[in-house]
Amino acid sequence: MRILFVEPPKDFWFIMGQYIPPPFGILALAGYIEAHNDSVEIEVVDCQAEGLDWDGLRRRIESSQPDVVAPSGLSTSNAYVVLRAAELTKKVDPGIMTVVGGQHFTALVDEALRAYRCIDFVVRGEGEMTLSELVDAVEGRGLLSEVKGLSFRKGGEVIHNPDRPLICDLGSLPYPGYHFVEEHMKTYYFALMADKNTPFAIVEGSRGCRHDCSYCSQWGFWGRNHRAKSPERIADEMGRLREEYGSRFFWLTDDNLGLGERTSDLCNEIIKRDLYDVTWFCQARCDDIVRNKELLPKMREAGNTWMLLGLDSSSSEILRSFRRDGIDGSKAKGAVDLLRENDVFSQGTFIIGHRSDSHESIEALRKYADWADPDIATFMTLTPFPGTDIFEVAKRRGWIEDWNWSNYDMVHAVMPTERLTREEVQEELYGCYDSFFGSWPRRYRGIMSKNPITRRTYQYLARQAIMTGLRKLF
């Protein structure tokens, strides 16, 4: 059997500048299938890295003649490109099996299988074992009805097999299949976070999160039990990527690195391996940063140059309704200051469009962002991702005005608030970027900064790339 994993052509998220990311989700799956399904031949086509459009992808499917096409899921905003890849596959040959997965199709599995005949199978939740057993069943070594985590159509009916328990030990997973995209490894880059000439790779440190922020689809998908790879394993993955492909900038996928002993051990491992020229990005909570401030110099020494912090809101009611216990103004400001003292670039994210938001409350948020003063602020609209509590409430109460999944990228407003129309929320988002980055002292400080990341980021902003992108949304 031959499986073609596909990263379809799609737009990049302009807020973060220019980048080409490795399609980590399907590389993890490809690595697992290679290790567990001897009979399978694997190919990965990455349309971003190869510069392929839809016609190019059609030609690749034709020439590869796969038995199965499996497009990468990632986010709700990619739902249509996944469907388009499945549809294209069926046009090339209706006999090719299509399998989709990831957060969006897991949350809306029933609707997806009923509405889109181009999808044969949905793998719900964690993909590795379910896909592997699906392959076995299709090859006659098992029954479809016994593959946990699988949904499909049978006759006129949609069948949902029972859920699959999560893999207990992430260390048991094979190394991700980066060798399937070996020829592109020098093509992957993240211009702002490293630079265009620094090969970029994604390293998965853990799955799941112990927190349960109401807008986040992660904890519902992976569960609240946080499963982590060991520090040795993570550093080994970094080391191998460095050695085999020259990767020197890593994005750690952990939703919350949870600064503490594990992070300290990870830094020790990186330092021990003498990965002196690598840098890395992570996401962390500001309360953890403040609590573990003594760890920051070691993190910087180990190459951590950029940290993303969810600062969210200045309103304690909104923070409470997001279930952001432990986050407040003093932690936010404290964390940003500590990162600056330790020469780590801080990206603070803020959310507008809560049901209670008004022009005044968003103005207060702008002032808060200005005061907290992260190196960059990323303002986002509250987006009801399927699978979240917010989605369920918003759907039930009829708040969602825009059902175009491509717009679920947190820069399109898809819901109004009690006091603002959807268009006003969108206009306010523009106002937030304009107020933060329009500040001349901040721009001057950025462009003149000694820190190359800060300089690069503000040069990108100075070219008005974000503002132009945002304006085009109207």
Contact residues for ligand B12, defined by CB under 6 A: 10-13, 16, 21, 23-25, 28-29, 70, 72-78, 99-104, 123, 126-128, 131, 202, 204, 216-218, 251, 253, 255, 380, 385, 409-410
Instruction: Compare residues 131 and 319 and give the one whose CB is closer to ligand B12.
Output: 131
| Closest approach of ligand B12 to the CB of residue 360, in Å | 25
- Residues in Cβ contact with 242 at an 8 Å cutoff, skipping those fewer than 6 apart: 248, 275, 278
| Closest approach of ligand B12 to the CB of residue 448, in Å | 27
| Closest approach of ligand B12 to the CB of residue 444, in Å | 28
Coil, strand or helix at 175: coil
How far apart (Å, rounded) are the C-alpha atoms in residues 438 and 178?
Answer: 41
HSE, CB side, 13 Å, CA atoms: give it for residue 181. 35
Instruction: Compare residues 216 and 270 and give the one whose CB is closer to ligand B12.
Output: 216
Instruction: Compare residues 282 and 334 and give the one whose CB is closer to ligand B12.
Output: 282
How far apart (Å, rounded) are the C-alpha atoms in residues 335 and 346?
Answer: 9
Instruction: Compare residues 46 and 373 and give the one whose CB is closer to ligand B12.
Output: 46
| Closest approach of ligand B12 to the CB of residue 105, in Å | 8
| Closest approach of ligand B12 to the CB of residue 439, in Å | 23
Pairing verdict, β 227-228 and 206-207: antiparallel
On whether the CB atoms of residues 2 and 65 are closer than 8 A, the answer is yes
How far apart (Å, rounded) are the C-alpha atoms in residues 420 and 300?
Answer: 42
On whether the CB atoms of residues 274 and 235 are closer than 8 A, the answer is no
Instruction: Compare residues 71 and 303 and give the one whose CB is closer to ligand B12.
Output: 71
Identify the residue whose tokens are 């803020």: 350
Instruction: Compare residues 200 and 458 and give the one whose CB is closer to ligand B12.
Output: 200
Instruction: Compare residues 385 and 458 and give the one whose CB is closer to ligand B12.
Output: 385
| Closest approach of ligand B12 to the CB of residue 202, in Å | 5
Q: How far is CA 279 from CA 103, 179, 259, in A?
A: 29, 22, 17
| Closest approach of ligand B12 to the CB of residue 405, in Å | 9
Instruction: Compare residues 29 and 112 and give the one whose CB is closer to ligand B12.
Output: 29
Q: H-type helices in 275-358, by residue range?
A: 286-291, 296-301, 316-321, 329-341
On whether the CB atoms of residues 266 and 235 are closer than 8 A, the answer is yes
Rg, C-alpha atoms of the chain: 22
How far apart (Å, rounded) are the C-alpha atoms in residues 170 and 454?
Answer: 35
Instruction: Compare residues 70 and 138 and give the one whose CB is closer to ligand B12.
Output: 70
Q: What is the DSSP string of 191-227?
A: TTTS-TTS-EEEE--EE--S---TT-SHHHHH-SS-E
Coil, strand or helix at 465: helix
Instruction: Compare residues 175 and 445 and give the one whose CB is closer to ligand B12.
Output: 175
Burial 102-118 (b: 16+ CB within 10 A, else e): bbbbbbbbeebbeebeb
| Closest approach of ligand B12 to the CB of residue 282, in Å | 10
| Closest approach of ligand B12 to the CB of residue 423, in Å | 20
| Closest approach of ligand B12 to the CB of residue 13, in Å | 4
Identify the residue whose tokens are 């946990």: 148
